[in-house]
Every structure is written in C-alpha cells, then in structure tokens.
Amino acid sequence: MEITVAELRKAFTKAGYITDEEVLITVYLSLKLEKPLLIEGEPGVGKTELAKVLASVFETELIRLQCYEGLDENKALYEWNYQRQLLKIQISKEAACGDDLEQNLFSREYLLERPLLQAIQSDKKVVLLIDEVDKTDEEFEAFLFEVLSDFQVSVPELGTLQAQQIPMVILTSNNERELSDGLKRRCIYLYLDYPSVEREVAIIQARLPDVGEKLSGEIARAMAVMRADQEIRKKPSVAETLDWAQALLAMEKDRLTDTIIEQTLNLILKSKADQKAFAKNIGSARLAEAARAEK
C-alpha cells in the first residue's frame, strides 16, 4: 500500500477504525519519517487498537512487548537458553566431543529471541507495539531509546545485529508517570482523547451497524456525560461503549431510558465507588434525559 494520508484514511475506515485527520496525519508522519509513534491518553481510548489496525492495514505481523514493572533486557530483547546449553554440555561430556563446544553454545540456536529482537530480525516490516511503556523502569526506558534510535542491538557473543527492515513502532502510555525527554525526543507524539460524540456515533455505526442511529447518538451522549464527571475514576472506554451498545441490541432496545440504564450500568461502570459517584452526581433519570437531548 502506498503511504498517503488519503490511502490511510481509506484503509483505516475499511478496518473499522474511525478516526480524525489529526490521528491520520500523525500516523502518516511517523511512517514516512520512520520514527516511533508515542501515543498517550486515558485507558480505553484506542491506543493499542491503533497498532492492531496498522498491522492489519499493512497485512503484517504485530509483535507486542507488554511492559510491566521490573521488565528487563532479558525479557524484552534476548536471553540465552541456559537449560538447553546445560543439556548440550551434559551430552557433549558423554560423547567426549568438546573443541568447538563453546562456540556452538553461543550460536543462534541457543538464542531466545524476545519481542524487540524479533522485530529487528524480521525479514518483513512488522508493527512493534511497546504497550504501557510508562510501567517500566527509567533504566529500561533508557535502553529502549538506544534501540529505537539505531534499530540495532549488540549481542556480545554474536556481534551487532542490524534491523533488516525498520519496524513500525508504536509506544503507548497511560501517563502514569512522565516519560523521559530522551524517549520523547525520538518519537512522533500523539495525544489520544476520548472521541467526540459525533465520532463515537460513527464508531458504533461502523462496528455495530444494527444499532439504530438514534440509539447510537443516545449512547454516545450518555458516555460523554459520564466521562465529564470528575468523581468517576474509571471513565468508560470506547470498548465499553461498544459492549453497551451490543447489550442493548441483544435486549432489543432502541431508546435509552432510566430503567434500562439502571439495568445495564454495571457494563459501563465497574466499581462500587464509580457507581455511587454516578448515582450521587448524575443518576439514571438525568442521564437518560441528557442522552435524549439532541443538540
């Protein structure tokens, strides 16, 4: 696929990812400049989904590195298959062959490739998703931006391994901590916010065409009201919007009423504290009214 903004728009829509010009142009720039794309935003706005869509649009593999506290190079880049090496030593002892054993033990055969190395060594241009990078330690982050600026890694026993194809790199962050300037400098940046009511209606319509236009609008407006409440901690995500729409579809409802909202509230707000905050600040009746009030 030729990389242009228009082509990306077409392909994203075809894949059911409804988005705006800002996202499209930013993704386009990241691809053309071959720079990692750092996406920040609240949980559930579609950061990870963007990487999946890119992989499907370019019909390529998605390699995912899920970050967590304590993630280190061994889990992200490579490690030697220690157990296999030991077995080889045991077998060699009995077979009494040993001259080139050491060389063999540190060959590709004993190398366990982890996501970063897999992406660099892939023959095809892949999408490398480094998910929730804000959960890693600062030292791992420093190591990461070394890899991302040169797209090569050094394995002491094998030498430097250069990327065959520069992967499309997507980093996501929930903004739980500020990432270093070094990492940010190397990336194109995109802040993804919750979709506007109009865009959320379009998303529902694209994913669940059976949900009527009226109900889609009501769902989207209801979601916007809930997300605007400061006391609701876990704001409902786009995935939850779709779950809710699907549930309403299964219940054969075509309008939002306070009773339906009460019956299905636990699909959107999943903690006792959030449900209490909702009851206190908004309430089902007011939400139904706000949802039905078309601008």
Of 152, 142, 75, the residue nearest 114 (C-alpha): 75
Task: Provide, rounded to whole angstroms, the least separation between the CB of residue 279 and other proteins.
Answer: 11
Ranges within 150-179 binding other proteins (CB under 8 A): 175-178
Task: Provide, rounded to whole angstroms, the least separation between the CB of residue 264 and other proteins.
Answer: 21
Residue 103 contacts by C-beta under 8 Å, 6 or more apart in sequence? none
> Nearest 5°: CA angle at 26, between 21 and 31?
125
Rank residues 120 and 277 by Cβ distance to other proteins and give the closer one.
Answer: 277
Binds other proteins by CB under 8 A, chosen from 116, 168, 190, 220: 190
Binds other proteins by CB under 8 A, chosen from 14, 72, 97, 162: 72
Is residue 233 at the binding interface for other proteins, with CB under 8 A as the rule?
A: yes
Compute the CA torsion angle 184, 188, 192, 198 (nearest 10 deg). 160
Residue 213 contacts by C-beta under 8 Å, 6 or more apart in sequence? 201, 205
Is residue 181 at the binding interface for other proteins, with CB under 8 A as the rule?
A: yes
Binds other proteins by CB under 8 A, chosen from 13, 74, 90, 196: 90
Question: In whole angstroms, what is the distance from residue 128 CA to residue 65 CA?
Answer: 8
Task: Provide, rounded to whole angstroms, the least separation between the CB of residue 228 and other proteins.
Answer: 11
Is residue 272 at the binding interface for other proteins, with CB under 8 A as the rule?
A: yes
Rank residues 59 and 178 by Cβ distance to other proteins and give the closer one.
Answer: 178
Cβ–Cβ < 8 Å for 239, 223: no
Is residue 22 at the binding interface for other proteins, with CB under 8 A as the rule?
A: yes
> Which residues are bridge partners to 111 per DSSP?
80
Question: In whole angstroms, what is the distance from residue 288 CA to residue 207 CA?
Answer: 23
> Nearest 5°: CA angle at 172, between 167 and 176?
150
Query: Where along the sequence are the contacts to other proteins (CB under 8 A)?
Result: 5, 21-22, 25-26, 28-30, 32-33, 35, 38, 40, 69-70, 72, 82-83, 86, 90, 135, 137, 175-178, 181, 184-191, 230-231, 233, 272-273, 276-277
